[in-house]
Amino acid sequence: MRRYKGSKYNYFQTNDRGELLIMNMRTEGKVKVTGEEAEAVKELLDNSVKEIDETKECYNQLIKKGMFVREEEDEVKLLMLKQNEMIYGTDTLSVTIMPTNDCDFRCSYCYENHMEDYMDEETEERVLLFLGKKIARCKQLRLGWFGGEALLCKERVLRMSKKINEMCRRYRVPIYGEISTNGYNLDVDTFKELVRNHITEFQICIDGPKQCHNQTRPHCTDKDSYTRIIENLKNIRDNVKMGMFKIALRTNITPGVRPYLDEHIEEMKRLFGDDHRFMLSFQCVRDWGGDNIQQDMIVDDERTEYIDTYKTVNEVGMSSAGKLSFAPIVGNCTACRKNGYLIDFKGELHKCSLAYHNKEHRDVDTIGYINEMGDEVVDESKLATWIVNNDDISKGCYDCVLFPYCMGGHCPYSRNITKTKTCNKYILSNVSEHVVEQDKEGKIPYWN
Ligand code: SF4
Ligand code: SF4
């Protein structure tokens, strides 16, 4: 027998059969408890110290999943340790490449200044030299493609992805690759080539049904980009047999898009609902900067929007929040990492695309550059502004069930630079849907 207490970070949710679903936010461990046992288990997992018989399988499971912690264990310190490893460790190399600032869309809420800036051959060589040196010293690569619209320079993206993949193979470094694209130029061949080179996570925005999308996300010359994007996605659905990719179809929610969401979700379910490689995600539009955003594009209450939207998704049975990750510290942006870089078309090193496009913050965001030898030249004082947390975490955060994910403010731009940090409690509605969806998919085992 040893003395244990319930973790601060157990999230409780009841399913429609009255069963208790528990997810520990520090370990992502999950269990399910029958309705009859629910109250007793909740009490068992409160913060008081109890003698627990570890040899009993049911208790052992709760211990292994971090739902019970030893009396003397300080979960906040354990999380801080992990966070420091994330910030200062060099095992993970996180690189997002923006090969162009240009884009063929003019989305109504976009914060970017679209210029016809494209990466050239010499910069490509420098970036690859830099990556070769960094990959040789890391244990995993997180690679992202971003823009502008990265696929406006499709050949460069494919060529560089292939070379990066070869380097990673040479050093036996796994790649976790992703791309944010408007999907307009994502034909099947391009898609397959990206997946072959481990770019397996795709984020494509579709803002509602055809008319709504075409109005909110207008293409520069094509009045109906919706049809082409949907055709591209259907071709991928029907012609790509590989299973190891994920396409998140993201809808940016504005008050204008809101009335069409149910229709949109039904249509996405009809087209992609039977294919587990597709999922829906949602993001309420915010004032991300730039001159385009208008106050009437911002919803009054984000949390309510997510609750309502995920409820509809759940009802139609489309894959969504269940595929989100709530792994601890993952919510912290890679701009927090010392080994995290946003590389622009000139080979400059940056931290955050919002700061990059903001005139006032562009300078602090430009933390350095890659020289002709492929070495980084970094201004340490700017780097410190980003990664050293100079904001006191409020006491309430330590006891917040979201703390393992949010760590009291996951965005270093708002925390350290604009000083506009806000609480992220709205994420709770996503956690709630995540747990419910995982349960529906049979992924949560009974505790005994
Ligand atoms: S706004 Fe914040 S969370 Fe987003 S990329 Fe910039 S630093 Fe990261
Ligand atoms: S900022 Fe809000 S959501 Fe994040 S840990 Fe603090 S109280 Fe929780």
Instruction: Record the pTM.
Output: 0.93
Q: Are 193 and 158 in contact (CB under 8 A)?
A: yes
DSSP H helices, 343-394, are 353-356, 362-365, 380-387
Distance between CA atoms of residues 331 and 18, nearest Å: 30
- State the SS3 of 248-313: EEEEEECCCCHHHHHHHHHHHHHHHCCCCCEEEEEEECCCCCCCCCCHHHCCCCHHHHHHHHHHHH
Residue 420 forms part of a structural domain: no
The reply to whether ligand 2 has any atom less than 6 angstroms from the CB of 436 is no
- The answer on 126 and 35 residing in a single domain is no
- Whether residues 92 and 204 share a domain: the answer is yes
Q: Looking at 323, 345, 373, which one is the last position of a domain?
A: 323
pLDDT in tens, 108-125: 888 888 888 999 999 999
Cβ atoms of residues 17 and 423 within 8 Å:
no
Same domain, 89 and 60: no
* C-alpha dihedral, 290 to 296 to 300 to 305, nearest 10°: -90
Per residue, what are the HEC states of 197-258? CCEEEEEEECCCCHHHHHHHCCECCCCCHHHHHHHHHHHHHHHCCCCCCEEEEEEEECCCCH
Token digits of residue 396: 């309430």
Q: 421 in a domain, yes or no? A: no
Number of structural domains the chain divides into: 2
Whether residue 254 sits in one domain with residue 190 = yes
Q: Is 313 exposed, middle or buried (0-12, 13-18, 19+ CB in 10 A)?
A: buried
Q: Are residues 154 and 27 in the same domain?
A: no
Q: What is the CATH number of the domain that holds 195?
A: 3.20.20.70
Last residue of one domain, picked from the residues 323, 356, 376: 323
Long-range CB contacts for residues 293-298, cutoff 8 Å, separation at least 24: 293/109, 293/111, 296/255, 297/108, 297/109, 297/254, 297/255, 297/256, 298/254, 298/255
For residue range 189-198, what is the model confidence (pLDDT) as tens digits? 999 999 999 9
Task: Quote the ligand 2 centre to 330 CA distance (angstroms).
Answer: 14
Among 354, 362, 391, 424, residue to substitute to test ligand 1 (most atoms within 8 Å of Cβ): 354
Which residue in this structure is represented by tokens 């996405």?
A: 268
191 and 295 together in one domain = yes
Residue 33 lies in a domain: yes
pLDDT of residue 390: 67
* Domain contains 413: no
**357 within domain boundaries:** no
Q: Is the CB of 259 under 6 A from ligand 2?
A: no
Domain boundary among 308, 323, 338: 323
Closest by CA position to 254, among listed 220, 212, 191: 212
Are residue 101 and residue 219 in the same domain, yes or no? yes
Per-residue pLDDT tens over the stretch 346-384: 999 999 999 999 999 999 999 999 999 999 999 999 999
Q: Is residue 147 part of a domain?
A: yes
Measure 249 CA to ligand 1 centroid, in angstroms.
20
Same domain for 208 and 138: yes
Reported as a single tens digit per residue, the pLDDT across 210-242 is 999 999 999 999 999 999 999 999 999 999 998
Residue type, 62: L
Cα(87)–Cα(60) distance, integer angstroms: 32
Which residues constitute the domain of residue 22? 2-73+436-440
Taking the CA of 410 as reference, the closest ligand is: 1
Which ligand is the nearest neighbour of the Cα of 386?
1
Q: Lowest-pLDDT range, 184-188, 320-324, 350-354, 429-433?
A: 320-324
Q: How far is the centre of ligand 1, averaged over its atoms, from the C-alpha of 131 (Å)?
A: 22
Q: Do 153 and 291 belong together in one domain?
A: yes
Q: What is the pLDDT of residue 297?
A: 85
- Asked if residue 267 and residue 128 are part of one domain, the reply reads yes
Please answer whether residues 104 and 219 qualify as being in contact, where contact means their C-beta atoms are separated by less than 8 angstroms. yes
pLDDT of residue 113: 83
Cα-Cα-Cα-Cα dihedral of 425, 431, 436, 438, to 10°? 180
Are 130 and 61 contained in the same domain?
no
Which atom of ligand 2 is found nearest the CA of 428? 3
User: In this structure, is residue 385 part of a structural domain?
Assistant: no
What is the Cα–Cα distance from 200 to 402, expressed in whole angstroms?
A: 28
Considering the domain architecture, whether residues 208 and 299 belong to the same structural domain is answered as: yes
> For the segment 374-392, what is each residue's pLDDT rounded down to a tens digit?
999 999 999 999 999 766 7
User: Considering the domain boundaries, does residue 92 fall inside one?
Assistant: yes
